[in-house]
Homo-oligomer: A and B are copies of this chain.
Amino acid sequence: MGISSKKAVVLLSGGLDSATVLAYARKKGYHCHCLLFDYGQRHDRELKAARLIAAKSGCPFTVMKIGLPWGGSSLLDKGAAITSGISRVARHLPATYVPGRNTIFLSFALSLAETIGASVIFIGANAVDYSGYPDCRPVYYTAWKQLIKSLGLKIVVEAPLLHLSKGGIIRLGIKLGVPYGLTWSCYNGGVRPCGVCDSCRFRAKGFSEAGVNDPAA
């Protein structure tokens, strides 16, 4: 099938941003193929959430298993609760920073998009209410555009939530009918969200700003 069939690859993490992006892409009329990653994240509850969200959407999905044996992030360490503090790799970043994560995710998405003839890769990156990860910033997505262009491919990376607040994302998602009750944000992989990690705090802020109750709380 060619590019005219309006196919898209959607990176789906199980968090609320990417769930919103999936609904957004479907609303735009894209036939979506979701791409999920088992990268050894301590919060594997997140991956379970991604499977549920993909299944509920009815879109095909693929789970890539790609352990990062060199570590470099507290998110890859299922030992002690170390999702606070600074990164061992980059001291100006939080401990949860995973070196190369979005670059790896986007490179697989690019391979899939080219193979199935998709014209867009959707990613839920956000540079407003975020942890400061460099692979969530606008300049990085501009560089991806150039990289794909250098390969002669007509595929674009779209990050429609890049400039929205968490409240704005949730307001958009509520309109689109996103099943937020299925999403998981907490960096700690317990049965209940910890409520104190960056991701829990941004989530609470978002629902508060949007003036709605968190169905997963």
Contact = CB atoms under 8 A, between A and B. Distances in A.
Contacts of A140: 147, 150-151
A115 B144 CA distance: 21
A212 interface: no
Nearest to A140: B150
Copies in the complex: 2
Given A134-B152, A139-B150, A152-B134, A90 B114 contact: yes
Given A69-B62, A134-B152, A99 B110 contact: yes
A135 B148 CA distance: 10
Contact of A101 (B98, B106, B111, B112): B111
Contact of A66 (B64, B90, B134, B151): B64
29 contacts: A62-B70, A64-B66, A64-B69, A68-B108, A70-B112, A70-B115, A70-B116, A71-B115, A72-B114, A72-B115, A90-B114, A99-B114, A99-B115, A100-B110, A100-B111, A100-B112, A103-B147, A103-B151, A104-B107, A104-B111, A107-B107, A134-B150, A134-B151, A134-B153, A139-B150, A143-B143, A143-B147, A144-B147, A146-B146
A66 to B, nearest CB: 6
A213 interface: no
A72 B152 CA distance: 17
**Which of the four size classes fits the interface of chain A?**
35 or more
Contacts of A146: 143, 146-147
A66 B69 contact: no
Given A64-B66, A71-B115, A99-B114, 19 more contacts: A68-B111, A70-B111, A70-B115, A89-B114, A89-B115, A98-B111, A99-B110, A100-B108, A103-B107, A103-B110, A104-B108, A107-B107, A134-B153, A137-B150, A139-B150, A140-B150, A143-B149, A144-B147, A146-B146
Residue of A62, A137, A147, A149 contacting most chain B CB atoms (<10 Å): A147
A4 interface: no
